[in-house]
Amino acid sequence: MQTVRLTTAQAIVRYLMAQKTVRDDGTVDKLFPGVFAIFGHGNVTCLGHALEEVKHDFPTWRGQNEQGMALAATGFAKAARRRQIMVATSSIGPGATNMVTAAGVAMANRLPLLLLSGDTFQSRIPDPVLQQVEPFGEPSTTVNDAFRPVVRYWDRLTRPEQVVQSLPHAVHTMLDPADCGPAFIGLPQDVQAEAYDYPVRFFDEAVHEIRRPRADSGELDRATAAVRSATKPLIIAGGGVHWSLAEAELAAFAEVHNIPVVETVAGRATMVAAHPLNAGPIGVTGCTSANALAAEADVVIAVGTRLQDFSTGSWTVFRNESVRFVGLNTARFDATKHQSMPLVADAREGLADLGAHLDDWRSGDEWAARCTAETSQYHAYIDKIAAKDSSASDDPALPTYAQVVGVVDRAADDKTYALTAAGGLPGELVNGWRAKAVSSFDAEYGFSCMGYEIAGGWGAKMARPESDVVVFVGDGSYMMMNSDLYSTVLTGHKLIVIVCDNGGFAVINRLQVNQGGVPFNNLIADSRVTEVVAVDFAAHAAAMGCESETVHTIDELESAYERARAAERTYVIALRTSADDWTEGGSFWEVGVPEVSNRPAVLDARAEVVEGKVDQRVGW
């Protein structure tokens, strides 16, 4: 057997470089197009050396913060629709634990991300080493064990030859449509440096094509019978439609069988907004049309969704007591949620097979007409509140989120990719972003991670260099993590960033007040501060090399946006926005409200929760 002697670190790098993927258009490309890295003593001398040796063929991108670079890798994976995977590597200790949050984001959103972290010495002779945390009585435990709950695959290499077993498992886990999620590999410092005679064939080029499982015939028969029995069928399109590249099949299935479609947050832009059967977003951040149809539906085909509480209104949006669910999903876990009738299959293949079994069956025209009528009211409402002359704000001097989103929505074309996360902007964009092209939207709401926006935008621009990536970020998220603005300037990955400053964590202030509380510790003015000092976001961004400006009106924002589109580097537009005006039309959402309080308003809110839970679907 022909062998080559390499260190553990060199073997990992060479193996990753040999992996290829089949892209959307059928071309073969690198599965791992690059590495985000912040080096420290735990990874610079071995893994860093191995990466430097191949820097022209396997680019390494320097991050500013470990969490940010791993979030960028996650944003990349989403924009690449899980067809390519970025690597993020850190040293041991705080560098590693900084990436745990990003692992949670990838895990909740079912996205591939490879994390390589330095670790303590396997020999333990130098213990305790710099940045080592020592759990008494558990000497083999390190901070890297904190990744276990937030990754699909976890390993710590204790011998160099283990690369041959561990790396393929990690790759295939990340590529498995049912089990997709982040993978973590811990690299003890001494093991990274050790050499081994690896089989040369281990580094042969491997071309990966995502598996497309087909449905079981029995499950398919039962699902077909259920859909045929429906008078008011409804499709919920989730993120799995994107991962399967099934947008065209979804639209065709809906058209042939005359079934309205509603979208989850992750499933937004699975259909263009103008499609007559697209009834808009469902659930808490959803619209009146989608929720009205969900309330009456008797059979729901849930395609590629994990049915998160924001999609189901904490399981209250489905009011028909005879409603049945067909769970079309590659993951058995998701396909069987809440007593769904499972149809375990790839979304594209599953829709094709179900459509073939349904043959020429169509739902009644009255139901489709109901979809059209309800949806037209939804769009009229968005048009009204997003208009630049809208007077919805309590303070007309301050633009609303809806108006800000409306500016970009009106100017968008099929090259515009909108991105946001957490806070109040997801609800506004989920409703106000009317997709002109499929797969043109990313609202990270699986983990709802503040700070994802700018870093995720950096990764998205890497994956989609031809797109105008527009990042919507609130002042709260901006203050949490903004340093990757500097990364985009350094690397030439231009973003358009719109910073909406509403004085703090305004959407949580809204929740606090709406549940009977008083404003406390959310808006800056309601916090323990000696003086409220306004942040000059444009000046801050300029200090990191961005082009930037502050605007005050929607007219000014429209003009600034055109300048941003024409700019050659990241362009930041900052403006003050209303903290009190929000897009309405969602559903009930269950949160914990105290049973006992000295505030009557809290007790009233508790009574509303109890009343809302009456409509929860439990074991129907």
DSSP characters over 445-462: -SS--TTHHHHHHHHHHH
Contact status, residue 537 vs residue 475, Cβ threshold 8 Å: yes
Distance CA 617, CA 620 (A): 6
Q: What is the pTM of this model?
A: 0.97
Distance CA 73, CA 79 (A): 10
Q: How far apart are the first and last CA of the chain?
A: 61
- What domains, with CATH codes, occur in the chain? 3-208 (3.40.50.970), 217-376 (3.40.50.1220), 387-576 (3.40.50.970), 593-620 (no CATH)
Please name the amino acid found at residue 509. N
pLDDT score recorded for residue 330: 98
Alpha-carbon separation of residue 337 from 160, 170, 275, 469, 521 (angstroms): 41, 27, 29, 35, 37
| 620 — pLDDT class (breaks 50, 70, 90) | low
CB count in 10 Å sphere of residue 446: 22
Contact status, residue 241 vs residue 304, Cβ threshold 8 Å: yes
Residue with tokens 């299935």: 253
Please name the amino acid found at residue 572. V
Phi, psi dihedrals of residue 524, rounded to the nearest 5°: -60, -40
Average predicted confidence (pLDDT) for the chain: 96
pLDDT, tens only, 410-445: 999 999 999 999 999 999 999 999 999 999 999 999
Q: What share of the chain has pLDDT > 90, as a percent?
A: 96
Report the DSSP beta bridge partners of residue 89. 37, 116
Output the six-digit token pair for 11: 């073997």
pLDDT, tens only, 56-112: 999 999 999 999 999 999 999 999 999 999 999 999 999 999 999 999 999 999 999
CA angle 273–71–187, rounded 5-degree value? 145
Distance CA 481, CA 471 (A): 13
Please name the amino acid found at residue 404. V
Residue 129 contacts by C-beta under 8 Å, 6 or more apart in sequence?
92, 120, 121, 189
Contact status, residue 220 vs residue 184, Cβ threshold 8 Å: no
Q: Report the range out of 25-29, 213-217, 396-400, 585-589 with the highest average pLDDT.
A: 213-217
Q: Where are the alpha helices (DSSP H) in 118-162?
A: none
Contact status, residue 254 vs residue 260, Cβ threshold 8 Å: yes
pLDDT score recorded for residue 373: 97
pLDDT score recorded for residue 391: 54
pLDDT score recorded for residue 396: 67
Please name the amino acid found at residue 201. R
- Closest-CA residue to 43 (of 202, 174, 157): 157
Strand 416-421 relative to strand 113-119, pairing: unpaired
pLDDT, tens only, 546-569: 999 999 999 999 999 999 999 999
pLDDT, tens only, 483-516: 999 999 999 999 999 999 999 999 999 999 999 9
Strand 19-22 relative to strand 28-30, pairing: antiparallel
Report the DSSP beta bridge partners of residue 300. 234, 325
Per-residue H/E/C for 551-578? CCCHHHHHHHHHHHHHCCCCEEEEEECC
pLDDT, tens only, 196-255: 999 999 999 999 999 999 999 999 999 999 999 999 999 999 999 999 999 999 999 999
Distance CA 102, CA 386 (A): 33
pLDDT score recorded for residue 394: 53
Distance CA 341, CA 299 (A): 10
pLDDT, tens only, 354-379: 999 999 999 999 999 999 999 999 99
Phi, psi dihedrals of residue 201, rounded to the nearest 5°: -65, -15
Identify each DSSP E strand in 122-175 by its residue range.
Answer: 153-156
CA angle 545–58–159, rounded 5-degree value? 120
pLDDT, tens only, 314-368: 999 999 999 999 999 999 999 999 899 999 999 999 999 999 999 999 999 999 9
